[in-house]
Amino acid sequence: MLLAPDFALRDQNNQVVRLADFRGTRAVLLVFYPFAFTGTCQSELGSVRDGSDLLADAGVQVLTISVDTVYAHKVWAEREGYGFPLLSDFWPHGAVARDYGVLNEKTGAAVRGTFLVDADGMIRFAERLGPGVGRAPGWLSTALAAA
């Protein structure tokens, strides 16, 4: 197991969210995606929104991350009813995605990456998908099984 790289990013409400703030209290599911307002990303984050009971039952906090701005995240969250943090890895551009090995340097966006970080800060589950590859059906349950 590896210790998850810590970070501090702003959410869609411009509030700073730190991974370290969850240490000792709850597991965190990190969901990296390429861009807001795209069909596959919208479907996957819809799965997170619709799976909120599953996340709550597992005691897991979800944090989604892309290189989009906080302003784009704000509009998207309001439009789609996302009640979870959408974190902006805008500047320094893609630094957190790079730390997790999911930054596509050619496009400047994250590929899809899913990481379950336990309450001790250790990565219990990691999946990195290639450019243009969507998450498989049931991906949320698969990731949460490591909680």
Q: At 61, is the pLDDT very low, low, confident or very high (cuts 50, 70, 90)?
A: very high
pLDDT-based confidence at 131, cuts 50/70/90?
confident
pLDDT of residue 13: 97
CB-based burial, 57-86: b 16+ in 10 Å, e otherwise: ebebbbbbbbbbebebbbebbeeeebebbb
Catalytic residue among 41, 55, 140, 144: 41
For residue 41, indicate whether it is catalytic.
Answer: yes
Q: What is the overall mean pLDDT for the chain?
A: 95
Q: Work out the average pLDDT over 8-28.
A: 97
The answer to whether residue 31 scores a pLDDT higher than 90 is: yes
Q: Give me the pLDDT at residue 147, please.
A: 81
Domains, the chain, with CATH or none: 2-144 (3.40.30.10)
Neighbours of 5 (CB within 10 A): 16
Coil, strand or helix: which one is 88?
strand
- Across 63-72, 75-84, 114-123, 125-134, least confident range: 125-134
Q: 41: part of which helix (H) or strand (E)?
A: helix 39-50
Residue 62's nearest CA partner among 46, 38, 40 is 46
